[in-house]
Amino acid sequence: MASANIDPQSDDSKICVVMVGLPARGKSLIAGKGEWEDITFKVIWRLTATAMRYLGWVGIPARVFNVGSYRRFNTPQPAATFFDPHNEEGERMRRAAAEAAMSDMLQWFNAGKGVVAILDATNSTQERRQWIYEKCHEADIEALFVESICDDEDLIMTNIKEVKTTSPDYKGQDPEEAALDFRNRIRNYEKAYETIGDNEKHYTYVKLINVGSTVIINQIKDYLSSRLVYYIQNLHIKPRSIWLSRHGESEFNLSGAIGGDSNISERGEAYARALPELMRKSGIPENTKIVIWTSTLKRTIQSARHLKAETGYEKLEWKALDELDSGVCDGLTYEQIAEKYPEDFAARDEDKYNYRYRGGESYRDVVIRLEPIIMELERSENVIIVTHQAVLRCIYAYFMNVPQEQSPWMEVPLHTLIKLTPRAYGTEEQRFKANIPAVSTWRGKGTSAKHQEFPAKVDSKEESKEESK
């Protein structure tokens, strides 16, 4: 089998995801957090970013080909007239940029490692789409058009009003006027825009209407496209956070044993009691509904017990969130494993992501079974997940774009709440430590020590970092 996690993937599938939306107007307006676009563009943006993360996470080689960056290489700061369809020079250069992106994409596929390319441009005319379709068809690549449309006037205006306050362009202006002015800009672009039409019914496409409240799916053929489309149709852009926590310290943690289904320790129970306050401290917007997810193992259910009781949040138990199955090593300490299965122990250190415990699982296996969890997380809004070290590493890796080979070695300490908040340009992370001691369950490569410190010790009670784009 190939190295892809989506289980299985036909050897020869090559997909070109073609983004379709209003012209990427207002790029110069993007201020800091990139909140200053219209809603259609926002959807395309989020889709491109998360689809790339998702594909990386499941191990499918993917790459974005951004036509704008080819264009900018030649015309770093185009005047507004550049985008005028009657400007012949502008048209010629935009065409050249599209051709350069296409040519690089084909080369990348031909080199043999590419599976999914994302062609990121506005592709807002039927002519341009036909050209892409034919180019892909010739090269035996499936073109999957993904269009974002918004015709809900309330949604458009709400979005404009939400973001306009931060734009330098409209500083000092009357907010209502600024919003109307921006709305008019969008209308101008709409004139030149051609939505995917009835004469394009032979294309494979997905239309996301009003941020996915309606989804139209046309002519999906292969397995990977169907997975991608299912993923796409679950995305939303509502503001939300996802909280991650390991269970409180367990009896097995104390003895250094892995796996099992032990109870939480006294200190673990203290963490369970502290969790509701830790959640509040992390910041929960007013009137926010949060859902608690745990695994089916006792230590996570016990750890979420007080949170559930105090808040009345809805709670779900997922078997898919159970800890990585360590097979024959279940219940052993690392020392015992190193002694009893020295070759396995070394093999695991060599390639921790792919190493599968005898009769158990690898990190790769866990990622496969977590896929429905990720799908459901994308559909959901505010969720706190109380689960296990290996599982948390995999979920964290998805949101923070951590490479496969690195994720099994990450430190996710006990008694620490992680808050992830998706932003326009990445996911923001905050960590909140409960002031309750716990053993460290982190183990360095090559050692079998029971309780080790992670090299880069986290000192501050709260630290913040952001996944770079």
Contacts for 440-444: CB closer than 8 Å, 24+ residues apart: 440/413, 440/414, 441/253, 441/389, 441/414, 442/411, 442/413, 443/334
Q: Is 140 in the site for a copy of itself (CB under 8 A)?
A: no
CA distances from 33 to 26, 463, 464 (A): 14, 20, 16
Using CB under 8 A as the criterion, what x/- string covers residues 302-331 for binding a copy of itself?
------------x-xxxxx----x-x--x-
Is residue 95 part of an annotated ligand binding site? no
Q: Which of 215, 254, 347, 410 binds a copy of itself (CB under 8 A)?
A: 215
Q: Is 347 in the site for a copy of itself (CB under 8 A)?
A: no
Name the minimum Å distance from CB 320 to a copy of itself.
6
Dist. CA 437–CA 268, nearest whole Å = 9
Based on the number of CB atoms within 10 Å of its own CB, is 395 exposed (0-12), middle (13-18) or buried (19 or more)? buried
Name the minimum Å distance from CB 146 to a copy of itself.
15
The one-letter code for the residue type at 19 is M
Catalytic residue among 37, 142, 147, 247: 247
The alpha carbon torsion through 147, 182, 156, 220 (nearest 10 deg) reads 0
Cβ 23 vs Cβ 189: under 8 Å: yes
Beta strand 416-423 with 242-246: parallel, antiparallel or unpaired? antiparallel
Q: Is 107 in the site for a copy of itself (CB under 8 A)?
A: no
Q: Phi-psi category of 82—alpha, beta or left, where left has phi over 0 and alpha has psi -120 to 50?
A: alpha
Give, as ranges, the residues between 47 and 86 that touch a copy of itself (CB under 8 A). none
Is residue 405 part of an annotated ligand binding site? no
Q: Is 219 in the site for a copy of itself (CB under 8 A)?
A: yes
Name the minimum Å distance from CB 328 to a copy of itself.
8
Q: Which of 175, 239, 342, 359 binds a copy of itself (CB under 8 A)?
A: 359
405 is annotated as an active-site residue:
no
Q: Which of 95, 137, 379, 451 binds a copy of itself (CB under 8 A)?
A: 379
Residue closer to a copy of itself (CB basis): 310 or 330: 330
Dist. CA 210–CA 41, nearest whole Å = 12
323 is annotated as an active-site residue:
yes
Contacting residues toward a copy of itself, per CB under 8 A: 1, 7-8, 10, 201, 213-219, 223, 226, 230, 233-234, 259, 296, 314, 316-320, 325, 327, 330, 359-360, 365, 368-369, 372, 376, 379
Q: Which residues are annotated as a binding site for substrate?
A: 246-253, 299
Catalytic (active-site) positions: 247, 323
Q: Which residues are annotated as a binding site?
A: 246-253, 299
